[in-house]
Structure 1
Amino acid sequence: MLIINNYEEYKTHLGKELGVSNWHKIDQQQINKFAEATLDYQWIHVDEEKAKNEGPFKATIAHGYLTLSLIPYLWKQIADVRNIKMEINYGIESFKFGQAVVVDSEVQLKAKLISIADLRGTTKVVIEAVLVIKDQPKPAYTGEVVFLYHFI
């Protein structure tokens, strides 16, 4: 795991891959809980029988937003940003979904530091986020995540 203590340390990683998370399996229980939390019960996600018989993937798939919501969890496995008063999920930009995540697939986040700026004491970083699906040639998505850090 990468440990970052301040702006200067963060900046040394500009343009470099920061690391990869552990593999995370997305099972039907997680998909169902996400559907419940978001009120998105589209059959392709929650109706296992219909998805198996009528769906293009022959199984249910994870919600695209479920896979996006994993970013903070998976990011914490890549980098430990220390000496901060606050971390803010500031934005997501240019995300493209490349492939559906079929139930029981394992995913892994790859992160690269695209830009870093000191905005009068607030550090703004843009991280390229790629969600890889185990044993699949195309990622689930690629895009940029923006974090703000207030270092002590």
Structure 2
Amino acid sequence: MPGQISPEQAKALIGTETGISDWHTITQDQVNQFADTTGDHQFIHLDEERAAKETPFGGTIAHGYLTLSMLSMLGAEAGNVRLAGAKITINYGLDKVRFLNPVRIGARIRARFSLLSIEEKNPGQWLLKNQVTVDIDGQDKPAMIAESLSLVVTG
């Protein structure tokens, strides 16, 4: 979505897709770094041989939380709803997250954003709720669906 819009213009977009990111390949190096950062060293993420033998995934998979943590970057890249006069945008949290399909190492993912709601929490503070669907290239079932909240401070 190009340019900045008013909250009133954003309200007209409720229920529509407002942005799509580029495709990004998930690498074993990313997964290894995420494991070291979070302390989640479960073999399904790190040991290709064991994951191929002992899981239904056929190899290592990305952490669900790695996919989730990429939403900020993917949203900025998608050119999602941008309110005119925005000074800062703050991650306000999530209302719902579902990990529906594992992301194999080497898979490409992208995020699609649809605006669910916008409300003024305080003067000049707008809470935007987006449904975010993370697609896996070549697969019908998405990796993840989330309701992501952002607080935009304007003025």
Pairwise TM-score range, normalised by the shorter structure: over 0.9
Matched, 1:92 2:91: no
Superposition deviation, residue 51 in structure 1: 1.1
Task: Give deviations 1:87-119, integer Å, cap 9, x for gaps.
Answer: 110011221111100111000101000001112
TM-score by length of 1: 0.93
Q: Which segments of structure 1 move beyond 6 Å, counting only runs of 4 or more?
A: none
Which stretch shows the higher mean deviation, 72-81 or 131-140? 72-81
Which stretch shows the higher mean deviation, 44-53 or 81-90? 81-90
TM-score by length of 2: 0.92
Indicate conservation of the 8 Å contact 2:20/2:79, yes or no: no
- Calculate the aligned-residue CA RMSD, in Å: 1.4
Q: In structure 2, which of residues 62, 69, 85 is the aligned counterpart of residue 83 of structure 1?
A: 85
Indicate conservation of the 8 Å contact 1:107/1:132, yes or no: yes
What is the aligned partner in structure 1 of residue 126 from structure 2? Answer: 123
Structure 2 residue matching 1:45: 3-state secondary structure: helix
What is the aligned partner in structure 2 of residue 113 from structure 1? Answer: 115
Indicate conservation of the 8 Å contact 1:4/1:10, yes or no: no
Task: Give deviations 1:40-84, integer Å, cap 9, x for gaps.
Answer: 000000112211222211110000000000100000111262532
Structure 2 residue matching 1:72: 3-state secondary structure: helix
User: Which structure has more strand as a fraction of its residues?
Assistant: 1
Which stretches in structure 2 are left out of the alignment for 5+ residues?
none
Indicate conservation of the 8 Å contact 1:2/1:78, yes or no: no
Which residue identity lines up with residue 15 of structure 1 in the other structure?
A: G
Which stretches in structure 1 are left out of the alignment for 5+ residues?
none
Indicate conservation of the 8 Å contact 1:2/1:19, yes or no: no
Superposition deviation, residue 143 in structure 1: 1.8
